[in-house]
Structure 1
Amino acid sequence: MEVVCHMTSAHTRYDIRIFIKECISLTKWYKVYQIVADGKEDEVKDGVHILNVGKSGSRLTRMFFTPFRILRKALRVKADVYHFHDPELMPIGFILRMMGKRVVYDIHEDFPKDLLEKPYLNSRFLKKLLSRTVKFIEKLGDRYFSGIVTVTPDISARFNNPWKVILKNYPILEQITKAVPMADKPKNGKVRLIYAGGLTKIRGIKELVDSLQFNNNVELWLLGVWESESFMKECMASPGWSMVDYMGNKRIAEVYGLMKSADIGMTTLHPTQGYIKSIPIKSYEYIACGLPVIMSDFAFWREIYRDAAIYVDPLNPQDIAAAVRKLEDEQYREYLIKTGGSIMNYDMFWEAEEVKLHALYNDLIVNK
């Protein structure tokens, strides 16, 4: 049996894309290793051999030293395909290629654009310099790496590698089908909003919480991990926080169960360069769980979701609140649910994407 090795220095060991979707899917055909840097014990979970190289003490340590700890561990695995998920691992990707290994670079985001909006980079000059540097190195990788994986057509268009594939972060149909509602509908008749994902400024969490103060008949279920304690406190100071039920980080089965118990799914991300051309998979999850969706008014999103959502200015809490009031009407909610269901098909679930990933690996192993 061929061996494949996924590597990440920045993601958690149970990351939904890397572990739950890609690694677990690949166990159907390969022996799968995943190398992480979280300081936890090695383990075998769901058929995936998870190896840890130790947690980094700082972002700089993670970027400059952790990659080489990962490289040492990866070489011991002796994999047929090495698949990495962070731009900071590109140097070891080049080293593995120079050693004759098959290497796949999985690009989750448009990193050159994202760097221009990173809050921890205070210098505009530094942001531009790093953005151009990453873009240049990615172009080298495009020519040198065995394969390229991206999440959207917009990102894929930047690359010309003959073995490139788009793997969209579509939800896993089997998990949604098996999920059961986690709570009864409220007896007080309040409309339940739900947001599940990263709790960050650019994902519009502050504006979403602020919007609650303009409606009396709603509550917000908030699921995920805060980007910082200071941002959490900023949101908790909002007048709308009294209508928030913060549930922390949940397993995916619980998340889908809660979605099936809610009334409206929220995807009000800020209009950043990284989001306006993204594919908001969370909205597909909401629709697959039978929810109407309120989402940011981006032209690209309108093309995808058409009449299956209400579109709002994500920077305007009152606009968000007005959209929620429209969906207090159960008949209108049912209309959006039906419209959303009409745009969903099997190709919009992970089960169709995993076939493409297997085909890429098969091509690389046979041809390179």
Structure 2
Amino acid sequence: MNEKKRVVHLTTVHHPHDPRIYHKECKSLKKAGFDVYLIAKETETGIDRESGIKHIPIKDYKSRWERMTKGAWTLYKQAKKLKADVYHFHDPELLPVAWLLKNRRNHVIYDIHEDYITSMLQKEYLPKPLRKFAAKAYKKMEQFFTKKMERILAEKYYKDIYPDGECVLNYPMVNTAFIKHQRKGKIEDKLIYTGNVTDVRGAFLHAKLPLIDEKITMNYIGKCSTEFADEIYHIAGSQSDRIQINGVNQYIPKEEIEQAYLKHNWLAGVAIFPETEHYMKKELTKFFEYMNAGIPIICSNFPVWKHFINQYRCGITVDPHNDQEIKDALDYLRNHPDAAKQMGENGKKAVQEQLNWRAEEEKLIAIYQRLGNK
């Protein structure tokens, strides 16, 4: 039955190699027997043909407005030609496109990666009344466009906002290279952060780490604008030579990030974020990635994060604005290598046994099979 089911994933925002969209969802659906297409922006390397997933490239507009208009219209025309059984889209700006694609003969899935409503309330460049208006307007628009759509949620707490949504959590795929890899020898005075580099994701707090601890080298691996990179170096000041940024104005593929985890005997993976309602409730994807690689975590002591770290005994939580507390955490891992190694092993075990994509893959396939039986 599945052999004839055509699935089209849609995004104008995400890279075609996005871990959740391509490596997890598209590959899992292809393995389950679906005919899988991915309409996403063009890229130099394209998608591996051996995967069997068909990539339809669309122009990568640098202007957000052009992406939301010209890019969305191009995507719509390409998607409509395919006459899919299921359209699965990943960007809120594609809500009108997905609404136009919906008909009585197909299903449309809205894959909610972020809490966009809370995120809008935190846009500091907008006056507070305008933020509230934008959040309310978006919520009304979303409700209108998604009345006849299915919702998949990438995070547990999104159920509070979308009680009818189904969670397919963004847990990592178990990496065999990580299973074999053992932390041996002296722990290096190196910290790693992976993912997009922004202020709300702790970029500027992480830039202070070489000033807090004179031995530390801070390594960012993820897309970072030139402006952010300059600001990070400025904050580090006299210690800017101990800042390494891999990803200035470029996307870093999943495979390259995984190689980076194995490259050094990292002291810790960091996620020292400032307080924002958007992130305080989330279990960060990077937690699972650090754990997958057997690296201890140092992160902010938000209640949800503290509970998570304590539950899996995989790191240390700190007040993001208390330099001494951060220094004490770094010293503890440095001076107690056996304890640091055990934290890494605890995290790795939790991912291998519980917090991995296998169970989420089953949920995804079950959703698709249920839709196919409707």
**Distance verdict in 2 for CA 1:337–1:194, change over 3 Å:** same
Q: Is the 8 A contact 1:266 1:295 kept in 2?
A: yes
> Which residue number in structure 1 is paired with residue 228 of structure 2?
231
SS in 2 for 1:9: coil
1:84-103 alignment, distance < 5 Å:
84-98=89-103, 100-103=105-108
CA distance in 2, matches of 1:208, 1:255: 18
**AA matched with 1:286:** Y
Which residue number in structure 1 is paired with residue 367 of structure 2? 360
CA contact (8 A) 1:83 1:105 kept: yes
Q: 1-side partners of 2:126 and 2:178: how far apart? A: 45
Within 5 A, what are the aligned runs for 1:150-165?
150-161=153-164, 164-165=165-166
Q: 1:101 to 1:338 in 2, by over 3 A?
A: closer
Q: 1:217 aligns with which of 215, 218, 238?
A: 215
| Equivalent residue for 2:83, pick from 70, 78, 91 | 78
- Confirm or deny: 8 A CA contact 1:175 1:253 kept in the other structure: no
Of 235-244 and 17-26, deviating more is: 235-244
For normalisation by structure 1, the TM-score amounts to 0.89
1:273-318 CA-partner distances (Å, limit 9, x unpaired):
2101111121122122111110111101122221432111224444
Residues 173-188 of structure 1 aligned to structure 2 (within 5 Å): 173-174=174-175, 177=178
**Counterpart amino acid of residue 60 in structure 2:** K
The letter for the 1-side match of 2:202 is: G
Root-mean-square deviation over aligned CA pairs:
2.5
Q: Verify: 1:168 aligned to 2:173, yes or no.
A: no
In the alignment, does 2:293 pair up with 1:289?
A: yes
User: How many corresponding residue pairs?
Assistant: 359
Question: What TM-score, normalized by structure 2, do the two folds share?
Answer: 0.87
1:174-214 alpha-carbon deviations (Å, 9 max, x no partner): 35547869x9978xx74221111111111112111212122
Q: Does the alignment pair 1:128 with 2:125?
A: no
Distance 1:345 1:19 in 2: 21
Local SS of the residue matching 2:23: helix
State the alpha-carbon separation in 2 of the partners of residues 13 and 305 from structure 1: 32
Pairwise CA distance, 1:62: 1.8
Task: Find the counterpart in structure 1 of residue 205 from structure 2.
Answer: 207
Tell me how far 1:343 sits from its aligned partner.
4.0
Inter-partner Cα distance in structure 2 for 1:174 and 1:133: 42
1:10 is matched by which residue type in structure 2? V
Q: Decide whether the 8 Å contact of 2:155 with 2:169 is kept in 1.
A: yes
| Matched-pair contact (CA < 8 Å) for 2:309–2:317 | no
Q: Does structure 1 conserve the Cα–Cα contact (< 8 Å) formed by 2:188 and 2:267? A: no
CA contact (8 A) 2:292 2:352 kept: no
Question: What are the within-5 Å matches in structure 2 for residues 320-359 of structure 1?
Answer: 320-329=326-335, 330-341=337-348, 343-359=350-366
Deviations 1:209-231 (A, max 9, x none): 212122232222221111x3222
Q: Distance in 1 between matches of 2:233 and 2:54?
A: 40
Taking the aligned partners of 2:46 and 2:232, their CA distance within structure 1 comes to: 36
2:216 is the counterpart of 1:251: no
Q: Which runs of 5+ in 2 are unaligned?
A: none
* Alpha-carbon distance in structure 1 between the residues aligned to 2:120 and 2:256: 33
More off after superposition, 128-137 vs 307-316: 307-316
Q: Find the residue that maps to 1:266 and give its secondary structure.
A: strand
Q: Distance in 2 between matches of 1:44 and 1:190?
A: 35
SS in 2 for 1:83: strand
* 1:276 aligned residue: 280
Query: Structure 2 CA distance, aligned partners of 1:38 and 1:113?
Result: 30
Native 8 Å contact 1:83 1:104 kept in 2: yes
Aligned residue type for 1:256: E
Measured in 1, the distance between the counterparts of 2:137 and 2:43 equals 30
